[in-house]
Amino acid sequence: MARSTFQTLPGTRDILEPDASHLRGLVTLFADLAAGAGFGQIIPPMFEDTEVFTRLGEASDVVSKELYSFEDKGGRNIALRPEFTASVCRAFAQYRPTTPWKTWYAGPNFRYDKPQKGRYRQFDQVGIEVIGSHDPQLDVEVIALAQRFFDDLGLAVELRINSLGDIAERPAYLQDLNSYFEQNRDSLSEAARATLSVNPLRLLDAKRPGDAAIAAGAPTILDSLSNEAAAAFAEVRNGLDTLKIDYTIDPLLVRGLDYYNRTTFEFAAPGLEAAQNAVGGGGRYDGLVEALGGPPEPGVGFAIGVDRTLLACEAAGVLPSSGNTIDVWVVDATGSADVGLLVVEELRRSGLKADRSYDGRSMKAQMKNANRSGAAVAVIVGEDEMSSGTVSVRSMADGTQEQVQRGQMLAAVRSGLAQGRETKDGEDRT
Ligand code: AMP
């Protein structure tokens, strides 16, 4: 039977006001910060050849379990992007821009994840990537930009950092790790044993308490870093100290994607539930561009989860006001088709936020609309005003009203708005 109503699919939602304004504000703030640090925007397509993402590593959940992949009508295997980094590296390999290539991005990603609060199948990220430099100072700058973003939002976050060493050191470490977990195999959960056979590194951030307890005793990669990787990590820590950015070193921080080497980091918002409190993270991925068919250029970057950051801001009570309030409401009691149109258009062209009622509603109903809109001023055009070429400008706060010549409307509205603001400031102070 055909369905007559529809709802959003699991893990997706409509973002309505005021959330939509908050989201936009957050992206704008991020864009300004990134542009102020020399980053240019990249808007990659939302779907790519599936292989662009499988090169991230088959052991990542994002690739093995959560990819939205399908065959298109042309027989191509394509996938909705689960993250931006792979697309940015693919773009670098495609265009070979001069290095260091600094880009920022914002937009939705898709992961077939188990939906819950703070975990969606379509979610937004903002982030940056820098391709073409090994300099550990860049790692510091990248982390500092994320920290500045959270600071500007007024959101308290906790930063954890780690070094995963170089890919060349990885096999020896993986062997150590594997034998440690094999020794403890009987105490591991079924799921952990499955992970062990794919990638023992992923077991380090196991969430089940029993597995986590075993992971806590595992050999750490920090003890087996090469001299170069150890020196780079020391430089990153020094840089963060210089900038007075607080952090803790967490040798268990491996993050979900396999391609990271050297610096990794994650920001958590303590106000959110532990399982979903990561608001952003990133690190170095020095082999990824090459894995995507590009030159062997290193990369570093991060992605911040926008939906979760907004949840954290809400929990912390630091959401910015949406700034969407209407300034002025137009009440047209003449029923004349043109008056409402002309007055509203003039107000909007002058830069004021103006709205009106429709369908020839009664004066009373229009005044109700005006009240509900939060507008500080109403412009009223009745028969009387029509015949005398005037309008009435009414303060919604105290109901005072003055009739002015149509040519004086903008000045009168502006002065009404200014008075409204003064009154409000006065009230806020008392
Ligand atoms: P990742 O790309 O996995 O490193 O994720 C970076 C950030 O994106 C995380 O810290 C989260 O804030 C956010 N994120 C990742 N997956 C989801 C999801 N399924 N729903 C909402 N936010 C997510």
The verdict on 76 and 143 lying in the same domain is: yes
Quick one: pLDDT at residue 62? 86
Domain end position, chosen among 254, 283, 316:
316
The verdict on 260 and 380 lying in the same domain is: no
Q: Is the CB of 280 under 6 A from ligand 1?
A: yes
The verdict on 300 and 386 lying in the same domain is: no
Cα(40) to ligand 1 centroid in Å equals: 22
Confidence class of residue 4 from pLDDT cuts 50, 70 and 90?
Answer: confident
Confidence class of residue 322 from pLDDT cuts 50, 70 and 90?
Answer: low
pLDDT, mean of residues 347-375 = 95
Domain end position, chosen among 316, 345, 378:
316
| Domain-located, residue 34 | yes
Q: Is the CB of 278 under 6 A from ligand 1?
A: yes
Question: Position of tokens 């990824």?
Answer: 288
The verdict on 90 and 70 lying in the same domain is: yes
The verdict on 365 and 274 lying in the same domain is: no
Domain end position, chosen among 316, 351, 385:
316
Percent of the chain with pLDDT over 70: 96
Burial environment of residue 71 by CB neighbours within 10 A (0 to 12, 13 to 18, 19 or more) = exposed
The verdict on 286 and 418 lying in the same domain is: no
Q: How, if at all, do strands 47-49 and 69-71 pair?
A: unpaired
Q: Is the CB of 105 under 6 A from ligand 1?
A: no
Ligand 1 atom 18 nearest Cα:
119
User: Which has more confidence, 57 or 294?
Assistant: 294
Q: Is the pLDDT at 66 greater than 60, yes or no?
A: yes
Confidence class of residue 83 from pLDDT cuts 50, 70 and 90?
Answer: very high
| Domain-located, residue 50 | yes
Cα(304) to ligand 1 centroid in Å equals: 7
Confidence class of residue 257 from pLDDT cuts 50, 70 and 90?
Answer: low
* Average pLDDT for the chain: 92
User: Which has more confidence, 178 or 101?
Assistant: 101
Q: Is the CB of 158 under 6 A from ligand 1?
A: no
Q: What is the pLDDT of residues 148-167, one digit of tens each?
A: 999 999 999 999 999 999 88
| Domain-located, residue 348 | yes
| Domain-located, residue 30 | yes
Based on the structure, what is the number of domains in the chain?
A: 2
Q: How, if at all, do strands 47-49 and 77-80 pair?
A: antiparallel
Cα(118) to ligand 1 centroid in Å equals: 9
pLDDT, mean of residues 260-276 = 90
pLDDT, mean of residues 121-144 = 98
pLDDT, mean of residues 217-225 = 89
Q: Is the CB of 83 under 6 A from ligand 1?
A: yes
Cα(215) to ligand 1 centroid in Å equals: 23
User: Which has more confidence, 185 or 108?
Assistant: 108
Quick one: pLDDT at residue 1? 61
Q: What is the pLDDT of residues 331-354, one digit of tens each?
A: 999 988 788 899 999 999 999 999
pLDDT, mean of residues 206-235 = 90
Of 167-171, 208-212, 296-300, give the range with the top mean pLDDT: 296-300
| Domain-located, residue 151 | yes
Burial 392-401 (b: 16+ CB within 10 A, else e): bbbbbeeeee
| Domain-located, residue 335 | yes
Q: Is the pLDDT at 100 greater than 90, yes or no?
A: yes
pLDDT, mean of residues 89-114 = 97
Q: Is the CB of 303 under 6 A from ligand 1?
A: yes
Q: Is the CB of 86 under 6 A from ligand 1?
A: no
- Best mutation site among 62, 123, 265, 273 for ligand 1 pocket (most ligand atoms within 8 Å of CB): 123
Cα(125) to ligand 1 centroid in Å equals: 7
Domain that holds residue 31: 19-166+226-316
